[in-house]
Structure 1
Amino acid sequence: MNVSQYKTKTFVLEVFAILLALLFLAPFYLVLSNSVKTLKEILLDAASFPQIFHWSNYSSVWKMIDFPQAFWNSLQITLLSVLLIVLFSSMAAYQIVRRPTKFNSFVFLLLVSAMIIPFQSLMLQLVRVTSLLELRGELYGIVACYLGFGMPLSVFLFHGFIKTVPLELEEAARVDGSNPYGVFFRIVFPLLMPIMVTVVILNTLWIWNDYLLPVLIIGGNKDLTTLPLAVTKFFGQYTKKWDLALAGLVMAIVPILLFFLSLQRYIVEGVTAGSVKG
């Protein structure tokens, strides 16, 4: 009796899991199938399987948006921003944990509080400040903005993980004559790898797919157009080229999707490890 109940429950759970997976995969099917259709086929029946695969959509998008340049812009902005976020947030979190002064505690409180402020409430002020500082339309301007907005969550994650690092390791390094920078970069920094991978993945996904901040900061500088900005070229005021737009979305999604699938297991590991208070 128990065996039959167990099998029935397992079957029901498996069916529910399959249906849930299909629900989440439905958008991927729509994007992939419609990216190889003509605009007429999409408008007639977007859910149907393509009768003829129009791979020319991808070659047209490659030329129209200058995909190599847009890809390089997204890549360099993402790499520079993520590297700076990891470096500065890890150093800030280490200082806050190992030097628990009132000032450091106040700084940590400010960083955590910044996580709940909606970005939309800061857009007008951000445009004014970046214009005054001549950051708009510049590579260092968009990277600086990503550094500022990416620090709060990253510091919070590093803060929880650094508490699990044994203090005895740092004391032993100091006894051996290592200076504070040597203690951090030679002893502590390598031990932060699990949470570091988590921070890298989360910020990479955000920055690569972000549209709003590049619109505000990059503006009309075509030399820095990222993939999300380039794809909007197919959406005009009166016409929308869904066939080309969906092909462009696939081309923009594939690199970051492969990156995420190869490293996704580290997200749970890093967050779980960082949640343990030492």
Structure 2
Amino acid sequence: MHLTKKAKTGTVLVTVFLSGASVFCLFPILMALMNSFKTKSEIFTNILALPAHFNFDNYVRSFNKMKYFTSFFNTLAIVVIGILGIVVFSAMAGWILCRTKTRLSSFVFGLFVFSMLIPFNAVMIPLYRVAKILHFSNKIYGMGSIYVGLGVSMAIFMYHGFVKGIPYEIEESAYIDGCSKAQMFFKIVLPLLGPITATISIMNVLWMWNDFLLPLIILATPQKYTLLLSTNMLFGQYTSDWPAILSGLILTVIPVILLYALLQKNILKGVVDGALKG
């Protein structure tokens, strides 16, 4: 079927707009990548110019100053703890709150939704005090646990909407066959929540991996720093090693970019399925 002239014009305009938006979003990353290969004098001479030659010494210097492997595995451990906690707890809570039709379940679900409206800045100081009382300060597992507490509200809201699209007859059949609640959740419900789980996981991975403020508050020693905190150490009080800073930022975002590239199809499928079923 041939497109009309009006439809073709609309398609061209949308393409131009999206191309411009893509350039706008990618420009800072491209600038950081380009300048990460320059010397400091080249950066201050012309930040928009291409590097005279590709200087990989900046990456070696950043890698050593950041203690990259230590910071990477700290970040990875925090993200794994946070994602596992958010997915398991939120999936269970979203499923139970959706299937339980009582005033109490509606009230509890409303509390989770209401907590999404509270900005982080409003709870930052109380959260720090609670973390010290629970001995979560400067602990990797403590950092991951705090992310679980902060991330479950949105995840429960998304799981709750997705569960509505799952036929209840499936669970009734499993119950008749003798499944316990735990077996029903892990063997039947959780696999059906795969698309929305992929979406929730990648959203929270990006949030945790790129978060700076919360680790700055909770983590006190360089041995426990995340990648972004280690990159921040490259800033000096009176001067900053900008080539090392930019190369450090590139080293920090590479794992997330690779993860997104590998899981892109699953992420898009999860977003579409979640929008249709939720």
**TM-score bracket for this pair, using the shorter chain length:** over 0.9
The match for 2:256 is 256
* Distance across 2 between alignment mates of 1:177 and 1:9: 56
For the residue of structure 2 that corresponds to 1:90, the secondary structure is helix
The match for 2:143 is 142
State the one-letter code of the partner of 1:224.
Answer: K
What does 1:177-188 correspond to in 2, within 5 Å?
Answer: 177-188=178-189
State the one-letter code of the partner of 2:121.
Answer: Q
List per-residue Cα deviations over 1:70-101 (Å, max 9, x = no partner). Answer: 11111111011101110000001111011122
State the one-letter code of the partner of 2:235.
Answer: F
List per-residue Cα deviations over 1:197-252 (Å, max 9, x = no partner). Answer: 0011000000011111111111x222211101000011122112111000000001
* Distance across 2 between alignment mates of 1:275 and 1:13: 22
* Distance across 2 between alignment mates of 1:98 and 1:76: 33
Distance 1:48 1:158, change over 3 A: same
Distance 1:188 1:21, change over 3 A: same
Compute the RMSD of aligned alpha carbons: 1.9
The match for 2:19 is 18
What's the CA shift for 1:5?
A: 6.0
Distance 1:15 1:128, change over 3 A: closer
CA contact (8 A) 1:160 1:275 kept: no
Q: Aligned residues, how many? A: 276
Distance 1:102 1:14, change over 3 A: closer
For the residue of structure 2 that corresponds to 1:237, the secondary structure is coil
The two structures have a TM-score, normalised by structure 2, of 0.93
The match for 2:214 is 213
State the one-letter code of the partner of 2:56.
Answer: W
What's the CA shift for 1:272?
A: 3.5
List per-residue Cα deviations over 1:16-60 (Å, max 9, x = no partner). Answer: 443333222211210100111111111121111111111110111
The match for 2:225 is 225
CA contact (8 A) 1:36 1:247 kept: yes
* Distance across 2 between alignment mates of 1:58 and 1:77: 24
1:241 counterpart = 2:255: no
* Distance across 2 between alignment mates of 1:158 and 1:9: 36
CA contact (8 A) 1:78 1:204 kept: yes
* Distance across 2 between alignment mates of 1:8 and 1:132: 62
* Distance across 2 between alignment mates of 1:6 and 1:91: 46
The match for 2:110 is 109
State the one-letter code of the partner of 1:264.
Answer: Q
Same amino acid, percent of matched pairs: 38
* Distance across 2 between alignment mates of 1:224 and 1:197: 28
* Distance across 2 between alignment mates of 1:12 and 1:152: 38
What's the CA shift for 1:11?
A: 4.5
CA contact (8 A) 2:87 2:155 kept: yes
Distance 1:16 1:222, change over 3 A: closer
CA contact (8 A) 1:33 1:50 kept: yes
CA contact (8 A) 2:65 2:234 kept: no
CA contact (8 A) 2:36 2:243 kept: yes
State the one-letter code of the partner of 1:216.
Answer: I
State the one-letter code of the partner of 1:158.
Answer: Y
CA contact (8 A) 1:85 1:150 kept: yes
Distance 1:86 1:50, change over 3 A: same
> Which segments of 5 or more consecutive residues in structure 1 lack a partner in the other structure?
none
Distance 1:168 1:69, change over 3 A: same
The match for 1:127 is 128
List per-residue Cα deviations over 1:135-185 (Å, max 9, x = no partner). Answer: 101122111110100100111111111111111111111111111111111
What's the CA shift for 1:269?
A: 3.0
The match for 1:68 is 69
Distance 1:277 1:256, change over 3 A: closer
State the one-letter code of the partner of 1:236.
Answer: G
